[in-house]
Amino acid sequence: MPVQPLAWLQQRQPVPPPALMARLTETLGARGTEPAADLGEVLLSAGEALLSRLLSEGRTDRQTALDLLTADAFVTYAFEAASDDPARITERAQRAMARISHLAVNADA
């Protein structure tokens, strides 16, 4: 059943700290209020896009800690959302690792 990513995030327990929730909301943008058939994919893609931008800009220092934490939170939440379909969790994990490691390889190139 499609769910709005932002509404789903707001229901998490424990509630994300205010600064993190604000950054999650900002990063999702319009996607946050659009129903998502695959919530895990939407959240993973948001984290991947944020991390990709940070790496391409060479911004991985302490000043970007909140952004790095946000990217990490998106990936964590993506797996929490995906836990509703445990039969696919291994495939999702392998795909996520490949996508994220590809970012690091491209950043080093």
What local confidence, expressed as pLDDT, does residue 68 receive? 95
Measured in whole angstroms, the distance separating CA 51 from the mean position of its chain's CA atoms is 9
pLDDT band at 92 (very low <50, low <70, confident <90, very high): confident
What does DSSP assign to residue 3?
B
DSSP assignment, residue 80? H
The helix (H) or strand (E) run that includes residue 109 is: none
The DSSP call for residue 15 is P
For 27-81, write each residue's pLDDT tens digit: 999 999 999 999 999 999 999 999 999 998 988 889 999 999 999 999 999 999 8
Give the orientation angle of helix 39-56 with respect to helix 65-82, to 10 degrees: 160
Question: What is the band of 108 on the pLDDT scale with cuts at 50, 70, 90?
Answer: low
Residue 100: predicted pLDDT: 82
What per-residue confidence (pLDDT) applies to 109?
55
pTM of the model as a whole: 0.86
